[in-house]
Amino acid sequence: MTLAQHLAAIDLLRARAFPDQAYHLAELAPAGARPEGPGEDRAEAEREALALLLATRWGPPHLVGLSGLLLRSGAGEEIPRPWDLLAGAVPDIQLWRTEEPAAWVALGVTGPGDEGRRLVVCVTEVDPP
């Protein structure tokens, strides 16, 4: 996907009504679309480039590490969705609060795994814990 396609996908997610769970979680660049090995850094580069474009709309992102959510969850605290899903999939996010419609937009890159690193976006009305 191109950066323009990523922006269009995010705009589409923001425009959609939220289902019962109050979030949309999507993979912006499917793992099969990028090569293995050194090309895996492409997901991180795409996130940085996309973050620069989103910063022109909503200002600089908040950089949020999610390991604390995993620790809190492990200690028995219930972490609301989608934040529990994000914490289990990505080590950190770039996060914006948008208006009209009011929502949180988070960009993350999954850790290395069988499918390679993947660029993901979450749009939610659930406040971060």
Per-residue pLDDT tens over the stretch 11-23: 999 999 998 899 9
What average pLDDT does this structure show over 100-118? 87
pLDDT per position as a tens digit, 34-87: 445 555 578 899 999 999 999 999 999 999 999 999 999 999 999 999 999 999
Q: What pLDDT sits at residue 41?
A: 79
| pLDDT over 80 (residue 115) | no
pLDDT for 31 equals: 47
Distances in whole angstroms, Cα of residue 10 to Cα of each of 107, 115, 129: 10, 22, 22
When comparing pLDDT for 92 and 114, which is higher? Answer: 92
pLDDT at 95 over 60: yes
Backbone angles phi, psi at 30, to 5 degrees: -55, 140
Residue 118 is classified by DSSP as: -
Whole-model pTM: value is 0.89
Q: In 1-129, where do the E strands start and end? A: 23-29, 62-65, 92-98, 103-109, 119-124
The residue type of 21 is Q
d(CA 27, CA 31): 9
What pLDDT band is residue 126 in, cutting at 50, 70 and 90? very high
How far apart (Å, rounded) are the C-alpha atoms in residues 27 and 125?
18
Q: Is 111 helix (H, G, I), strand (E, B) or coil?
A: coil
Q: Are 64 and 84 in contact (CB under 8 A)?
A: no
CA distances from 116 to 25, 42, 45, 58 (A): 18, 10, 14, 29
Element containing residue 96 per DSSP (H, E): strand 92-98
